[in-house]
Chain A
Amino acid sequence: MKTIKLLSIASLMFLGLMSFTTVAESSKYKCMIQMTNYTGEGAYIVISLMNPEGEYEETLNVIGDDEEWYNTIESWWDFYGKRRPDIDAITGATVSGGERTINVIEIDDDKLDKGYKLRFESAVEDQEYYEKDVEIELTSANVKSKVEGNGFIRYIRMMPQK
């Protein structure tokens, strides 16, 4: 019992110390999305942070500013549509086939290498919806890599912002 108590106190203190140093620590990453040469309207893309349980944790970026079409990104809509938090600051214009877009996303450092994932969902008016156009583990290696997409996204590239 004692040992358990001691351990828990020690771990509490340790955690407290940890949190003291890491509170609100986050980093910015440059993220480029290069689209395939599809034809049609501009794509709606949402970048989300998924927790280790595979649930939505946070919306990092929304590409596409007409709310009318948000429900075409179905899984995310289930998460976002209920609460509708303000996402103006992380919303940008749509990208069309062959184009690229560069956005800056901000991720808490303590989510890195903890089993969190980054998910890129994409949908185009009158065309498909890709729930996992790109989904990558949030690891220190992946945040400076290039990953191929499965749908409208040809690839994404990420880089820590200096």
Chain B
Amino acid sequence: MTISIWRYSHLILAILTSLFVLIASVTGAILAFEPISNQLQPYAISGAHERSLAETLSVLQQEYDEVFTLEVDKNGFVSASVITKEGDSDTFYINPVTGEKLGDLIKKAPLFEFATNLHRSLFLKTTGRILIGVVSFLLILITITGIKLILKRQGGFKRFFSKVVKENFNQYYHVVIGRYALIPILIITITGVFLSLERFELLPITKTSHQYLEQVEPENKLALKDLKIFQDLKLETVKQVEFPFSDDIEDYFIVQLNDKELLVNQFTGDVVSQQNSSLVTILTDWSIILHTGEGTIIWSVVLLLASLAILFFMYSGFAMTIKRRKDTSKIKNKFKKDTAEYIILVGSETGNTFNTAKLFYDALLAAGHSAYAASLNEYSTYNKAKHIIVFAATYGEGEAPISASNFNKLFAEVNQKQTISYAVIGFGSLMYPDYCKYAIEVDQMFQKQPNFEVHLPLFKINNQSFEAFKTWIQQWNKSSNQDLKIQFKKPQIKTKSLKEFKVVQKTALNIDHTFLVQLRPQKKTKFTSGDLLSLFPDQDFIERQYSIGKIENDILLSIKKHELGVCSNYFNQLKLNDVVKAKVKRNYEFHFPTDAKAVIMIANGTGIAPFLGMINDNQNQTKTHLFWGGRTQASLDIYKNSIDTAFSKDTLSSFHVAYSQEQEEKFYVQDLLLKHQDLLSQVLNTNGVVMICGSIAMQNRVLEVLNSVTTAKLNKPLSTFESNAQIRMDCY
């Protein structure tokens, strides 16, 4: 429930402020160039800032008839307001070493003038300034709700920067860019609000006012260069010096430093009065620097990127909202809720689950059944219903998705008159700790109500996998004696982006129906062990991926032949020199770490393929330990060659095998790990990396073992190492 409040506020605030934020970020992006172009002006004299104020002041005094003020701006440019020897009054940049004029003051370019006006007051003067101030404050709220949403999605602070599941372009980059941009955006908005408050005098104001005793005029006047105070002050600490208006003893040098203001007696150099800058003044100063990027190119670039990021968020955010609305209203019901036999209920957060539900709905209709689809929030009585099928996603820490926010309450209130069979399909991602938690909850709710009987047990689908969904459809068809056909949309594959690979080696099937294929790219292709090879079989055009082991410059795949497997059978019938069309997908998260001292690789079955490449390509001589689980001793034979080579090259430190079928009691790779707890904890504790490749079932067992090892030996949960990118997985 809470998640939708956060998202709702995030969206409402964004809609409310959109126009203003659009203007402010476009102009902000333009204005980011102003400090950059100013910084690039040639008015900074290197080394000049180390000089003392006395040197610069006296050189100015010699060079000009009269000097009124000296200013050092945030770019480090020194300017002076003077009367020249020709008698003209002028202000310009000077060389603090020689006192010479370097150039006229930078005049604000008309574009920047225009952008500044629009940025801070929308050309509406006071009204505009108030509007912009308020919008800036609302943008803080948007940022905070955004942070909250990321925390919810990622499952806590520690996982803030861990991997994001990619559902689609907009969603993925909204989150990924959001994580980095929100800090600068917070800074921009907070300083913006601060500057508005300051502008409208809503902050405590303390103007410096000096109080001092009247001075007695001494007989001798010291030369400017002999005044001690100016000798001690470095130019870099000075903001401004106002020269005394006349020779009168009552006229002082007014020296503004970064943190205080001094009145200096022009005869003696004594500090007559000293006032520290107020906190508000200092904060205002910092706000201006942070908000405008004045004086630093790097921060200006950060501000520019942040402005562009805001524009992207507006685009992607609204695109997501529109898509979500479209998706959730995709199903046009042909039957009424009280006439349909099959009731499909959907709990979806982003609308993706509706897509899958629609496939099932269409298949039911095509087979001549009456079906009715609705969101879980519309749960009600269904007079003719025989089956209820729930498609439930999970959001954040196991919370109900947005279209099911009210379901738990409804479910308790609504009583079905007849007995209905039910099946629940859960959608989630294994990358989050609460995998399909909401679906589990819904399944249990149905179990507890006597009016429902289970038709199929709870089925979980990882990352919207079509494969898994097809498996469920098979289960459904089997148990209900139907033959539903899911109409998969033929994905648009750019056949041109596929590359050709030639089969250069292929082993025979071993005892586990597993074989190795070695493919040679026909054109130059970038890849390394751990990347994925994507194939699109003609039969259904659904992408299949295999983990790559890189041996020399060839791709090594380890494939297990399934009786009905489209792709594995395709590979199995290949002969030497046949050509395969496929695409390499870089999988940077699963590359061999370049900086770790030690690496532990854990695999079962065909999951060993990427590791076969890595152990033979370990040029840094990183300590590598390979753990592998297979069925029998004979299962290892096809891999033996690669492992022996690695040992002979000294690129593999140890190899441990678990055979599940060789003894009475089954012994798996996770059991093998329990015998090497010291090695595991030592590697993790010294910033080493654990890589896991193989089946999901194995991955889950292994993660349990690793968690118990780190908790017991290192007193930390495994998630600490996960968020530190020390656990890398590629499982299926």
Q: Does B163 interact with chain A (Cβ within 8 Å)?
A: no
Q: Does A111 interact with chain B (Cβ within 8 Å)?
A: no
A2 to chain B, nearest CB (A): 49
Tell me if A103 and B89 are in contact (CB < 8 A): yes
Q: Does B208 interact with chain A (Cβ within 8 Å)?
A: yes
Chain A proximity mask over B168-212: 1 for CB below 8 Å, otherwise 0: 000000000000000000000000000000000100010111000
| The one of A39, A102, A162 that contacts B68, using a Cβ cutoff of 8 Å | A102
Give bound CA distance, A63 to B44, whole Å: 27
Q: Which residues of A contact B207 (CB under 8 A)?
A: 37, 39, 97-98
Q: Which residues of B contact A125 (CB under 8 A)?
A: 125
Chain B proximity mask over A60-102: 1 for CB below 8 Å, otherwise 0: 0000000000000000000000000000000010000110101
Q: Which residues of A contact B246 (CB under 8 A)?
A: 157, 159
Tell me if B201 and A39 are in contact (CB < 8 A): yes
Q: Which residues of B contact A92 (CB under 8 A)?
A: 91
Q: Does A53 interact with chain B (Cβ within 8 Å)?
A: no
Tell me if B125 and A157 are in contact (CB < 8 A): no
Give bound CA distance, A30 to B125, whole Å: 34
Tell me if B201 and A30 are in contact (CB < 8 A): no
Q: Which residues of B contact A28 (CB under 8 A)?
A: 87
Give bound CA distance, A162 to B246, whole Å: 11
Give bound CA distance, A37 to B201, whole Å: 13
Closest to A105 in B: B89
Closest to A99 in B: B242
Q: Does A126 interact with chain B (Cβ within 8 Å)?
A: yes
Give bound CA distance, A161 to B68, whole Å: 13
Given A92-B91, A126-B125, are A102 and B245 neighbors across the interface (CB < 8 Å)?
yes
Given A39-B205, A98-B208, A102-B81, are A159 and B245 neighbors across the interface (CB < 8 Å)?
yes
Give bound CA distance, A162 to B201, whole Å: 42
Give bound CA distance, A43 to B209, whole Å: 20
Give bound CA distance, A58 to B583, whole Å: 80
A112 to chain B, nearest CB (A): 19
Tell me if A161 and B91 are in contact (CB < 8 A): no
Give bound CA distance, A98 to B242, whole Å: 13
Quick one: which of B112-128 are within 8 Å of A by CB?
125-126
Closest to A125 in B: B125
Chain A proximity mask over B441-453: 1 for CB below 8 Å, otherwise 0: 0000000000000
Q: Does A143 interact with chain B (Cβ within 8 Å)?
A: no
Q: Which residues of A contact B68 (CB under 8 A)?
A: 102
Chain B proximity mask over A23-37: 1 for CB below 8 Å, otherwise 0: 000001010100001
Closest to B245 in A: A32
Quick one: which of B74-129 are within 8 Å of A by CB?
81, 83, 87, 89, 91, 125-126
Number of residues on chain A facing chain B (CB within 8 A) = 19
Tell me if A102 and B69 are in contact (CB < 8 A): yes
Q: Which residues of B contact A52 (CB under 8 A)?
A: none
Closest to B208 in A: A98
Number of residues on chain B facing chain A (CB within 8 A) = 19
Quick one: which of B409-439 are within 8 Å of A by CB?
none
Given A40-B201, A126-B125, are A100 and B242 neighbors across the interface (CB < 8 Å)?
yes
Q: Does A104 interact with chain B (Cβ within 8 Å)?
A: yes
A13 to chain B, nearest CB (A): 34
Give bound CA distance, A30 to B246, whole Å: 10
Tell me if B245 and A30 are in contact (CB < 8 A): yes
Tell me if A104 and B209 are in contact (CB < 8 A): no
Give bound CA distance, A159 to B83, whole Å: 14
Closest to A97 in B: B207
| The one of B83, B126, B205, B208 that contacts A104, using a Cβ cutoff of 8 Å | B83
Give bound CA distance, A70 to B627, whole Å: 81
Tell me if B209 and A37 are in contact (CB < 8 A): yes
Give bound CA distance, A14 to B91, whole Å: 43
Q: Which residues of A contact B205 (CB under 8 A)?
A: 39
Give bound CA distance, A97 to B281, whole Å: 13
Quick one: which of B57-81 are within 8 Å of A by CB?
65-66, 68-69, 81
Q: Which residues of B contact A97 (CB under 8 A)?
A: 207
Give bound CA distance, A126 to B65, whole Å: 38
Give bound CA distance, A98 to B125, whole Å: 23
Q: Which residues of A contact B208 (CB under 8 A)?
A: 98
Give bound CA distance, A28 to B69, whole Å: 19
Quick one: which of A142-162 are within 8 Å of B by CB?
157, 159, 161-162
Tell me if B245 and A157 are in contact (CB < 8 A): yes
Q: Which residues of A contact B91 (CB under 8 A)?
A: 92
Give bound CA distance, A97 to B207, whole Å: 9
Give bound CA distance, A32 to B254, whole Å: 14
A22 to chain B, nearest CB (A): 19
Give bound CA distance, A37 to B242, whole Å: 17
B62 to chain A, nearest CB (A): 16
Closest to A32 in B: B245
Q: Which residues of A contact B66 (CB under 8 A)?
A: 30, 161-162
Give bound CA distance, A28 to B89, whole Å: 10
Give bound CA distance, A162 to B64, whole Å: 13
Give bound CA distance, A50 to B208, whole Å: 36
Closest to A34 in B: B245
A78 to chain B, nearest CB (A): 22
Closest to A66 in B: B113
Give bound CA distance, A25 to B70, whole Å: 31
Give bound CA distance, A2 to B69, whole Å: 62
Q: Which residues of A contact B242 (CB under 8 A)?
A: 100
A47 to chain B, nearest CB (A): 13
| The one of B83, B89, B126 that contacts A126, using a Cβ cutoff of 8 Å | B126
Q: Which residues of A contact B89 (CB under 8 A)?
A: 103-104
Give bound CA distance, A102 to B70, whole Å: 12
Give bound CA distance, A74 to B479, whole Å: 90
Q: Which residues of B contact A159 (CB under 8 A)?
A: 245-246
Q: Which residues of B contact A98 (CB under 8 A)?
A: 207-208
Q: Which residues of B contact A162 (CB under 8 A)?
A: 65-66
Given A39-B201, A40-B201, are A161 and B83 neighbors across the interface (CB < 8 Å)?
yes
Quick one: which of B437-472 are within 8 Å of A by CB?
none
Give bound CA distance, A100 to B256, whole Å: 13
A142 to chain B, nearest CB (A): 16
B440 to chain A, nearest CB (A): 61
Q: Which residues of B contact A37 (CB under 8 A)?
A: 207, 209
Give bound CA distance, A116 to B91, whole Å: 30
Give bound CA distance, A99 to B205, whole Å: 15
Closest to A36 in B: B207
Give bound CA distance, A39 to B278, whole Å: 15
Give bound CA distance, A102 to B82, whole Å: 10
Give bound CA distance, A126 to B201, whole Å: 13
Give bound CA distance, A104 to B242, whole Å: 16
Q: Which residues of B contact A39 (CB under 8 A)?
A: 201, 205, 207
Closest to B261 in A: A98
B455 to chain A, nearest CB (A): 72
Closest to B87 in A: A28
Q: Which residues of B contact A126 (CB under 8 A)?
A: 125-126
* 13 cross-chain CB contacts under 8 A: A30-B66, A30-B245, A98-B207, A100-B242, A102-B68, A102-B81, A103-B89, A104-B83, A126-B125, A126-B126, A159-B246, A161-B66, A161-B83
Kindly list 4 other residue pairs between chains A and B, CB separation below 8 angstroms, not including A100-B242, A159-B245: A30-B245, A102-B68, A103-B89, A161-B66
Q: Which 5 A-B pairs have the closest CB atoms?
A: A104-B89, A102-B68, A37-B207, A32-B245, A39-B201
